[in-house]
C-alpha cells in the first residue's frame, strides 16, 4: 500500500522520523511525498529497501546519506543531493545544484537534467550519471567510482583526481590539475554501457571519452617545494 505524506499539512521532522522507522522487513515499502515546496533534507539518512517518490522540487541535501532506499524526485534538487550516499538509487528528473553526490561511497545517482559546479566532488565509490551538462570543478579530488556526463563539462574537470573514472560525451572546457584523457578500453565500454542502461540513457558508450589521473601528484617533487 502506498503511504502518502503531505508536507504542506505535516512536518518534515515527522516525515523523516517515519521513514527512519522502516526496517528491512517493513511492509510500508512505497512512499509518496507531496507538496515538498523546496524543503531541505527531505528523505535523508534512509536505511531500508523502500521507494520514496517526491512530487516536486526539493532544497538542500535531499536523500543525503542514503542506504538501500530508492528516492525519486519529480522535479529539481538543491545543493548536496545524495551527499555521502552509501547505497541505493537516487533519481532527479530535473536539474541538480552544486556538489551533487559529494563524498558518495556507493549507490547510483541519476540526474536527468544538468548538474551545477562540483558534481561528484571527493566521490569515494558512487556512480553518477548526468544526462545533461556539469559545471566547473566537477569530480574535484574524486577518489573512486564513475562520473558519466552525457553532455558537456565545465572548467577544471577532475582537478586533483585520484582513481575515479570520468566519461564525457560532449566537450570539456578544461581539465584540472593531473587530469588527462585516457584510453577507452573494452572493459570501460562495458562499465559505461551498464551505467547508461541503469540510468535510462540511450547514449552510446562509444561516443564518450574517458578521463582520469595522470598520477603526477602522487609523488613529491623537490622543484615544487617552497
DSSP per-residue letters across 151-178: S-B-TTBTTT--S-EEEESS-BS-B-TT
Identify whether 111 is part of a domain: no
Average pLDDT over every residue of 117-134:
98
Identify whether 164 is part of a domain: yes
Residue 1 has a pLDDT of: 74
Q: Which of 67, 74, 152, 72 is nearest to 114 (CA)?
A: 152
Average pLDDT over every residue of 133-152:
98
**Which of the four pLDDT bands, split at 50, 70 and 90, describes residue 220?**
low
Taking the CA atoms of residue 100, residue 164, residue 180 and residue 201 in that order, the dihedral angle to the nearest 10 degrees is -60
Same domain as 30, residue 70 = yes
Distance CA 190, CA 80 (A): 29
Identify whether 208 is part of a domain: yes
Domain boundaries, position 36? 1-97
Distance CA 154, CA 105 (A): 24
**Which of the four pLDDT bands, split at 50, 70 and 90, describes residue 51?**
very high
From the CB of residue 204, how many other CB atoms can be counted at a distance below 10 Å?
12
Cell of 54: 517526491
Same domain as 128, residue 86 = no
Average pLDDT for the chain: 95
Please give the tally of structural domains in the chain: 2
Residue 213 has a pLDDT of: 96
pLDDT digits (tens, 9 = 90+) for 24-40: 888 889 999 999 999 99
Contact by Cβ (8 Å): 182, 212 = yes
Residue 43: left if φ>0, alpha if ψ -120 to 50, beta else—which one? left
Same domain as 76, residue 124 = no
Q: Work out the burial of residue 185: count CB atoms within 10 Å of its CB; fewer than 13 is exposed, 13-18 middle, 19 or more buried.
A: exposed
Whether 225 shows a pLDDT value over 70: the answer reads: no
**E-only strand ranges, the chain:** 2-6, 30-34, 51-55, 70-73, 89-92, 108-111, 124-130, 144-149, 165-168, 179-182, 209-213
Cell of 208: 564518450
Same domain as 124, residue 86 = no
Same domain as 51, residue 151 = no
Amino acid at each position: 500500500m502506498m503511504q502518502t505524506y503531505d508536507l504542506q499539512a505535516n512536518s518534515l521532522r515527522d516525515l523523516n522520523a517515519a521513514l527512519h522507522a522502516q526496517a528491512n522487513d517493513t511492509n510500508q515499502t512505497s512512499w509518496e511525498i507531496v507538496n515538498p515546496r523546496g524543503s531541505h533534507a527531505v528523505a535523508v539518512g534512509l536505511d531500508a529497501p523502500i521507494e520514496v517518490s517526491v512530487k516536486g522540487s526539493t532544497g538542500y541535501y535531499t536523500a543525503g546519506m542514503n542506504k538501500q532506499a530508492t528516492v525519486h524526485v519529480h522535479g529539481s534538487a538543491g545543493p548536496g543531493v545524495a551527499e555521502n550516499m552509501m547505497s541505493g538509487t537516487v533519481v532527479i528528473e530535473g536539474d541538480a545544484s552544486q556538489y551533487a553526490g559529494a563524498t558518495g561511497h556507493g549507490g547510483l545517482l541519476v540526474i536527468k537534467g544538468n548538474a551545477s559546479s562540483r558534481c561528484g566532488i571527493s566521490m569515494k565509490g558512487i556512480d553518477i550519471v548526468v544526462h545533461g551538462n556539469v559545471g566547473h570543478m566537477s569530480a574535484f579530488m574524486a577518489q573512486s567510482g564513475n562520473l558519466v556526463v552525457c553532455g558537456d563539462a565545465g572548467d577544471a574537470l577532475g582537478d586533483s583526481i585520484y582513481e575515479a573514472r570520468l566519461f564525457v560525451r560532449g566537450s570539456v572546457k578544461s581539465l584540472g590539475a593531473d587530469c588527462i584523457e585516457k584510453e577507452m578500453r573494452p572493459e570501460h565500454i562495458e562499465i559505461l554501457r551498464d551505467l547508461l542502461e541503469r540510468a535510462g540513457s540511450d547514449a552510446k558508450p562509444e561516443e564518450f571519452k574517458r578521463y582520469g589521473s595522470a598520477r603526477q601528484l602522487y609523488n613529491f617533487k623537490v622543484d615544487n617545494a617552497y
